Amino acid sequence: MNRRTFLASAGLAGVAGLAGCAALQFGGNRDFDVGMTAETFDPAELTVSVGDEVVWMNTSSRAHTVTAYENAIPEEAEYFASGGFDSERAAREAWRQGGGALDNGETFSHTFDAPGRYEYVCVPHEMAGMVGTVVVEEG
């Protein structure tokens, strides 16, 4: 076997091995709706129905938050943020001491009871563009 063939084979084996590790990390199942990578929500936009629960999971090694923009959710909607804060200001202030942080493998969930568009952010990665949207539709 020549050197190039060996290196190509070793590279493919390594990639396949890593893919298996990712499947094992989450048990081969995806028990969440939105993953959190280094600086993105995946997917960035999700459409659900009124009454649906959305689960976010931190799938990266960095700490993240799920923090609704108060001025970018329906007026009749309940505010949501990881850490259970009742306002965007409280969530942002708490983050300074790590409040609301989700570490690798941790989840946050919220049930959406009002139709409309909900925009949210990861506070520590907002400047990197880590924002997301949940669109809630009637039945």
Residue 94 · residue 51 · CB < 8 Å = no
In this predicted structure, what is the pLDDT of residue 139?
78
What's the rounded Cα separation, in Å, for the pair 45 and 67?
A: 15
pLDDT per residue over 37-83, tens digit each? 999 999 999 999 999 999 999 999 999 999 999 999 999 999 999 99
**Looking at the structure, do residues 21 and 47 belong to the same domain, yes or no?**
no
**Looking at the structure, do residues 18 and 65 belong to the same domain, yes or no?**
no
Listed residue (120, 117, 119) closest to 136, CA to CA: 117
**Looking at the structure, do residues 35 and 25 belong to the same domain, yes or no?**
no
pLDDT of residue 4 exceeding 80: no
Structural domain that includes position 80: 31-137
